Amino acid sequence: MEHMQSILQVERVEKTYGGGQHGVAALKGVSLEVEAGGFVALMGPSGCGKSTLLHLIGGMERPTRGRITCAGVRLDTLNESERARFRRKSVGFVFQFFNLLPTLTVVENVALPLLLDGVSGDVARAQALALLERVGLSARETHFPAELSGGEMQRTAVARALAAQPPLVLADEPTGSLDSANGLQVMQLLATLNRELGVTILLATHAEEAARYATRTIRLRDGLIEDPYSHAAAL
Amino acid sequence: MLPLCSLFHQFILRALLREKLRTALTILGISLGVGVVVAIRLANSNALGSFRAATEAVAGETTLEITGTAGRFDELRLRELSWLRDYGRLSPVVTGYAMTEPTSATEKKGEFLQILGVDILRDRLLRQYDLLQLREGDREPNAREFLLLLADSQAVVVTEKFARRQGLTLGSTFTLIISDRKSEFVIRGLLRDEGPARALDGNFVLMDLAAAQWAFQRLGSLDRVDLKLAPGVAVEVAEAEITKRLPQGLVIVRPAARYSQMEKMIAAFHFNLNALASIALLVGLFLIYNTVSISVLTRREEIGMLRAVGTGRGVVLALFMGEACLLASMGAGLGLGLGQLMAKAAVQATSTTVETFYLAVVNPGATQPLQGVEGAMAVGLTLLLALGAATRPAFEAAQVAPLEAIRGPERLLKSRQWSWRAPVAACGLLILGGLLSRLAPVNGLPVYGYSAALALVLGGVLCTPIILWTMCRQGDRRLIRLPRLLPVERLLARASLGAAIPRVAISVGALAVSLAMMVSVSIMIGSFRETVVYWIEQTLRADIYARPLTRVTSIAEGDIDPAALALVAADPAVVAIDALSVQRVNFQGNTISLAGGDYAVLFDHGRLLFKAPQDAYDQLRRGIGRDVVSVSESFALRFGKGPGDVVELPTPLGLRPFEVIAVFYDYSSNHGVAVMDRTTYFRYFPAARPSSLSIYLQPGANPEEVRSRLASAVGSRYLVVFNTNRGLREEALRIFDSTFAITYALELIAIAVAGLGVMATLMTLILERRREFALLSMLGMTRGQMRRMLMIEAVYIGAAGQCIGLIIGVLLSLVLIYVINVQSFGWTIQFHVPMAFLAQSTLLILVAAAVAGLYPAARAMSANAAQGAREE
Amino acid sequence: MSGRIQKAEGRRQNGRKGGRKSLAFILAPVFCILASSFWLLFFSNDLVAEPIWREATPGYQFAFPRDHAAHTDYRIEWWYYTGNLATADGRRFGYQLTFFRTGITPEPSNPSRWTVRDLYMAHFALSDLTNQKFYAFEKLNRAGVGWAGAETNQYRVWNEGWEARLEGDQHILSAAEGNMQLALTLAPEKVPIIHGEHGVSQKGAAVGNASHYYSLTRLRTTGTLTINGEELPVSGSSWMDHEFGTSFLEPEQVGWDWFSLQLNDGRELMLFQIRRADGSIDPHSSGTLIEPDGRTIRLSQTDFTLTPTQPWRSPASGASYPMTWKIAAPAHGLHFLVRAAFPGQELQTTASTGVIYWEGSIIASSNDAAQGIIGRGYLEMTGYIGKRMGAVFDAVTP
């Protein structure tokens, strides 16, 4: 462990939606660990619990049981506003449906996490522009999301995910809505960023082509990690 | 039909139920609008209706009335009228008002009663008096018996209702105040609720003619002679013939003329109230439009799906029209009840005005309940208007193509583009408004004035999107030049509001309309108040004013006994007295006041503000002793007379020409007043008594001391109220303020309705933005930030409304002051903007808007981030 | 028209001799107040003014023409004209024109002209004997601005447009109602006949229950009648009664029958009988026989008999009146029949008193048919319908 700094530790996490007998168990005791700077793919069929795990790691929800430590923060004990601050600082999100604010321009969308964090407008803008340049969208800064292609939107989303310079980016099926060319482009972008900026990426996907960019793959099925080997390794 | 019903149930009803709060807000808004209209209608019809009912009840079977050109006339003139008997039955009448003794010290006035003094021998042929019999088998007294009941001068017959209210019974002695005297009367009989007894909710007293003359101190004069035409005589023929034969100084009128005269006078006031009340309804209709529009806008995909599975356009149209109908009928139904409840308050709120300016006595009784037919009409009308309001969005819904079911975010893109049609139409309307405001009134009603106001308001509404757009996208689109305060919240608020302009524009427009009305009315009232304050300061120069107790308003009856006047004059501190006599007369079908004052005292001590000519005082001085008058501004405007014109004024000697030599400002009445010097006045009205006194004191005298001295000197014998200059000013402003209280109340209701609309809109927007909130939450937006963002949106909406409201309001106030007021009331009002009030109200509105944003914000927060994300 | 109908019952006085016909008219208003209705009971004390009215007492000295004029010290006064007239071509008419004054408040405190010191009533009736048509009108007024009145310094009494006044010694009568008019000049042919003794006609046992009462029993009459717009010059003979006093009748009196007859032989006869509740004839019934020279013979109740026959039932009111009377005063050689000129001369005074009575022209003829008509006159019959006169005031009011 000491040779490799761990950025994320998930320990025996369970998540059950709904209460009582009819509760649906999405995660039934998942443990894993991701090293800083890693690029981990989380694979599995629909409904296997990938998204739920991502949400828990992103601090959007609390586990029913178990412990999550991300970037040195114990997520399971945070309250709502602490988790909001955590999300703002420590994770970036990229989702299948782009999740841009349609009412903001591209640059505003990218700058949003910074602004939410109280960074001044000029600074935020400068950083956002730099990121846009990196994702190749400088020319689109004043466009609205609706004026972009799917690939451009997802690249904008990637830029936004990086805006606050989080140590961890969570990507949930980022290529799910893209054609293969654009999908490829986005995956390459993620890989580049992982490599060049050292940002850790946790990618949930069911596409093997996407998973190929990862340095490690974890498979989930029915709320459990499928590969006993990697399970054991994680422990 | 059945599928439509079940579709309506599933598609509309369920949605409405799901959105309980928004539905409730809409219904509440409409019901407030309907309620206000109904309440004002009831209040108006109460005032007029009670007068009409009283007029009709008291008129009985009178077909024609003979009266003096200037009202009361010498009874000996009846001797010239013996030929009138050939036309039918005659009954001479002395009538007037008396007041019950105020029961407590705090009460300023008692109840007013109408006294009818008649010769019952003759009068029973014209009017029906239903004397209550206390015992089984007792019979109606015949004419002679009835006469003997009333024979002595203390005898009165009152209504059972009044007696019960006052705890009196047959044989009771009670006190009435007439002018400045108290008199004791004995109840000789009780009237059932029939005929004249129905007047004024039973506040009716029957006296013998002689007793009434004595009580009113009007020996030798009659108010009129009522004539019931013999069967078979045509009214028109008789009227024409009698008119021809009547000697100078007497005229013939139909009883209904008094009512229609009153109706004419009060019409403008009622029209204005109705117009103000309608704003709430108008705003309510905006609400319907808004609700249906939003329902269409937010459900385009669903509509598309419906269409995709084969639902016809007609059905979609029917669904949304049905929604409007449902909301409107529920709102209207609730509004009727609300209106009945509010009617009482409205009657109270308007009664001061009505009593001050129009009817000396307003029926104190309960308001008439709404008639079933009227209620049905109100609901029907509301439905119709609601359908009209819903037409556009419903048609829009019908136009939704099946494909749209699968086209998501495109609508956002579309909505950002707005056409130039709205601003062009807005400009057109504003110009139209300007033009309309220049047109003359119709039948004394400022119809075009209100049309102009409506045009301005609609123009303002059409400006709403532009204003909103400007606020949200000020200048640079690529901005990240963020405001210092709450940068990100404001950025987001502006962005989402900017995107939602088509949806919020309507409710913001409605808000703007009501705010514009508020602004305009407050400017108008503020200006008016300033003007009146100035006028009072300039013209109320006497140190003490005196009036008989019953003369509670300038149009109430009552005069001061010459002996009381002598007592006042005897006070050593009194330097001069201007005793003003006032006679209300019929001039060209309108009631005006003919007044006689002492010009000499006016020149030395008093002051009038003249509108024209420049040298009014010199003119007045030269005019003393001649047949000249100065007239009030409203007289000049109403009858189109100015200095140099000759008016034929009614006097007891018939119509006499008087030259108008000056026009003065007068805000105490809008009836029109013509004033002459007492030398001239007493030539025509030799028996006139002063209705009020302006008393000037020696320099250095303490008005308060003199006032109490006069009150104790005179007060024991005569019921004269003395008021110091200061007291009168306060009183005048109190009346002024209470007159306009209802105006503010109506405005506030309109604003409340608009506020409900804004809230409903915000709620909808929030539902629509669930995903956005989830995303923001994911991006680390805290609850506080989100709450602030939504409140800022609400404040923006309030600000936009107030911004338009201020602009349109100022324009409207110009129309109100220079067009509607002048046409309705004939007053010059100096334009004056009550800055403090406007600043205050603006602040209030912004704060209120922010508060209104709280609830939707709380609702928004309940949607949590993951749920939003999962919806992906 | 109605004048005398009502027989009021005495209010507080126990007068016993029934007053004449006309009295009742006057009394009616006063008594009715006291009568039945509850509220009258309540208030009568206030309404019936303190008796400051002057009572008719013995010793009154009549003087003419002064006593034609009004006597406003007394509560009740009337002037009563009846007559039989004919046109040159023989059309016959009867007329009645009566003015009543009833004092209400002798000294009113309210100076208004409209104060009701007196009430003025007038009845005007025309009988068209030839066509058997009857026309009747009434008026009820306070003085007011001179709509009705009776002057005290000279003889003039009027009610709206109806008037009687003295010009020289001639009585000028005028009355008009629509297209029915009367304009007559009456010249007395005999001196005034003063009824009763010592200037009073005693009506009851108590002092003061009496009246001052005189008649002009034969007035040569000329003038014009207008019947339905047709102007007819007429001449004939009239009778005038003038009576004033303050208190009168008593309650048991049901009604009365009053006759005034001008006989062709130059005599006149006035008779009245008062019918009492028990069916008897009141002892105060009486009469006066006036000789051609103006001498009078007083007839007491026992001096004459009046026998009614031939009842006629009024279709309007249902009352049944005798249309023929047999009159006998054996001591004075009087035996004759009196019959109504025609039956339909009933009045219903709805506007003023509500009393229903019959008053009309009559013809006197000898029992011996050969002698034919021996005179003409007027008859008044009251109390034939409804309750006694006292209660009669219950009748319809407008």
pLDDT in tens, C134-171: 999 988 899 989 999 999 999 999 999 899 999 999 99
Task: Give the closest-approach CA distance of A1 to chain B in angstroms.
Answer: 30
Residues in chain A: 235
Q: What confidence score (pLDDT) does residue B137 get? A: 59
> Residue A23 — very low, low, confident or very high, per pLDDT cuts 50/70/90?
confident
Determine the average pLDDT of the residues in B442-470: 83
Q: Where are the domains of chain A?
A: 6-234
Instruction: Name every residue whose Cβ is closer than 8 Å to that of residue B74 and which is 6 or more positions away in sequence.
Output: B220, B221, B222, B652
Determine the average pLDDT of the residues in B389-404: 80
> Three-state SS for B479?
coil
CB contact under 8 A, A107 and B496: no
Is B149's Cβ below 8 Å from some Cβ in C? yes
Six-digit token string for B495:
């962005």
- Other beta carbons less than 10 A from residue B655's beta carbon: 16
Determine the average pLDDT of the residues in B635-644: 89
- Other beta carbons less than 10 A from residue B438's beta carbon: 11
Determine the average pLDDT of the residues in C59-77: 92
Beta carbons of C323 and C340 less than 8 angstroms apart: yes
- At C188-228, the pLDDT tens digits run 999 999 988 788 877 666 666 778 989 999 999 999 999 99
> Residue C3 — very low, low, confident or very high, per pLDDT cuts 50/70/90?
very low
Among A60, A84, A103, beta carbon nearest to B782: A84
Determine the average pLDDT of the residues in B612-627: 87
- At B832-859, the pLDDT tens digits run 888 888 888 888 888 888 887 887 777 7
Six-digit token string for A157:
């989303």
Among B491, B776, B779, beta carbon nearest to A108: B491
Among B82, B145, B153, beta carbon nearest to C110: B153
C33 contacts in B (CB within 8 Å)? 144-145, 148
Q: What confidence score (pLDDT) does residue C2 get? A: 37
Res C251 pLDDT > 90: no
Q: What confidence score (pLDDT) does residue C158 get? A: 96
CA–CA separation, B868 and A51 (whole Å): 13
CB contact under 8 A, C104 and B189: no
Determine the average pLDDT of the residues in B146-166: 88
Report B:117-136 residues touching C (Cβ under 8 A): 119, 121-122, 124-125, 131, 133-135
CA–CA separation, B179 and B182 (whole Å): 8
A103 contacts in B (CB within 8 Å)? 412, 492, 495-496, 498-499, 772
Subunits touching C (CB < 8 Å, at least 3 pairs)?
B
- Burial class (CB within 10 angstroms; exposed 0-12, middle 13-18, buried 19+) of B139: middle
Please report, rounded to a whole number, the percentage of residues in chain C having pLDDT higher than 70: 79
B213 contacts in C (CB within 8 Å)? 110, 112, 114
Task: Give the closest-approach CA distance of A3 to chain B in angstroms.
Answer: 32
Among B410, B779, B784, beta carbon nearest to A87: B779
Res A3 pLDDT > 70: no
Q: What confidence score (pLDDT) does residue B480 get? A: 46
CB contact under 8 A, B780 and A55: no
Q: What confidence score (pLDDT) does residue B712 get? A: 86
A55 contacts in B (CB within 8 Å)? 866, 869-870
Is B139's Cβ below 8 Å from some Cβ in C? yes
Subunits touching B (CB < 8 Å, at least 3 pairs)?
A, C
Q: Which chain B residue is nearest to residue C396, measuring alpha carbons?
A: B142
Q: Which chain B residue is nearest to residue A169, measuring alpha carbons?
A: B779
Instruction: Name every residue whose Cβ is closer than 8 Å to that of residue B310 and which is 6 or more positions away in sequence.
Output: none
Instruction: Name every residue whose Cβ is closer than 8 Å to that of residue B373 and which is 6 or more positions away in sequence.
Output: none
Six-digit token string for B616:
């009014």
* CA nearest neighbour of B773 among B522, B421, B492, B551: B492
Least confident range of A62-66, B183-187, B218-222, C146-150: A62-66
> Residue B719 — very low, low, confident or very high, per pLDDT cuts 50/70/90?
confident
Determine the average pLDDT of the residues in A125-132: 88
Q: From the CB coordinates, do chains C and A have 3 or more pairs under 8 Å?
A: no
Give domain A6-234's CATH architecture.
3-Layer(aba) Sandwich (3.40)
Could you tell me the CA-to-CA distances from A38 to A70, A169, A194, A218, B743 in Å, in that order? 14, 10, 8, 13, 71
Q: What confidence score (pLDDT) does residue B361 get? A: 60
Q: What confidence score (pLDDT) does residue B107 get? A: 59
Q: Which of residues B478 and A190 earns the better pLDDT score?
A: A190
Q: What confidence score (pLDDT) does residue B481 get? A: 52
CB contact under 8 A, A120 and B482: yes
Res B61 pLDDT > 90: no
Determine the average pLDDT of the residues in A54-60: 83
Res C248 pLDDT > 70: no
CA–CA separation, A167 and B73 (whole Å): 104
What are the φ/ψ torsions at residue C87 (nearest 5 degrees)?
Answer: -85, 170
CB contact under 8 A, B488 and A88: no
CB contact under 8 A, A60 and B778: yes
Q: From the CB coordinates, do chains C and B have 3 or more pairs under 8 Å?
A: yes
CB contact under 8 A, A85 and B782: yes
* CA nearest neighbour of C156 among C244, C68, C218: C68
Instruction: Name every residue whose Cβ is closer than 8 Å to that of residue B565 and which is 6 or more positions away in sequence.
Output: B577, B579, B690, B693
The strand pair at A6-17 and A65-70 is best described as antiparallel
> Three-state SS for B95?
strand
Strands (E), B452-609: 544-548, 574-587, 590-597
Q: Which of residues B545 and B475 earns the better pLDDT score?
A: B545
CA atoms within 13 A on the CB side of B419: 5
- At B792-812, the pLDDT tens digits run 888 888 888 888 889 888 988
C109 contacts in B (CB within 8 Å)? 153
- Burial class (CB within 10 angstroms; exposed 0-12, middle 13-18, buried 19+) of B238: buried
> Three-state SS for C294?
coil
Instruction: Name every residue whose Cβ is closer than 8 Å to that of residue A230 and which is 6 or more positions away in sequence.
Output: A32, A216, A218, A219
B137 contacts in C (CB within 8 Å)? none
Among B79, B131, B145, beta carbon nearest to C32: B145
- At C308-357, the pLDDT tens digits run 998 999 998 888 999 999 999 988 888 899 999 999 999 887 666 667 88
- Burial class (CB within 10 angstroms; exposed 0-12, middle 13-18, buried 19+) of A89: middle
Beta carbons of C93 and C129 less than 8 angstroms apart: yes
Compute the mean pLDDT over every residue in chain B, rounded to the nearest whole number.
82
Q: What domains can be seen in chain C, in order of their start residue? A: 3-53+63-392 (2.40.370.10)
* Pairs of residues, one from chain A and one from chain B, whose beta carbons lie less than 8 Å apart: 111
The strand pair at C230-245 and C76-86 is best described as antiparallel
C145 contacts in B (CB within 8 Å)? 75-76, 78-79
Six-digit token string for B300:
């385009």
State the amino acid at position B345 in one-letter form.
A
Is B209's Cβ below 8 Å from some Cβ in C? yes
CB contact under 8 A, C351 and B92: no
B772 contacts in A (CB within 8 Å)? 101-103
Is B15's Cβ below 8 Å from some Cβ in C? no
- Burial class (CB within 10 angstroms; exposed 0-12, middle 13-18, buried 19+) of A135: buried
Beta carbons of C142 and B150 less than 8 angstroms apart: no
CB contact under 8 A, B121 and C141: yes
Instruction: Name every residue whose Cβ is closer than 8 Å to that of residue B593 and which is 6 or more positions away in sequence.
Output: B582, B583, B584, B585, B669, B671, B672, B673, B674
CB contact under 8 A, B124 and C398: yes
A105 contacts in B (CB within 8 Å)? 477-478
Least confident range of B861-870, C280-289, C379-388: B861-870
Determine the average pLDDT of the residues in B447-460: 85
Q: What confidence score (pLDDT) does residue C35 get? A: 34
Q: Which helix (H) or strand (E) holds B471?
A: helix B447-472
Among A86, A121, A164, beta carbon nearest to B481: A121
Among B413, B480, B783, beta carbon nearest to A124: B480
CA–CA separation, C162 and C175 (whole Å): 4
Among B498, B781, B870, beta carbon nearest to A116: B781
Res B479 pLDDT > 80: no
CB contact under 8 A, A88 and B779: yes
CA–CA separation, B327 and C216 (whole Å): 92
Residue B111 per-residue DSSP state: -
Spell B551-568 as b/e; 16+ CB within 10 A means b: bbbbbbbbbbbeebbebb
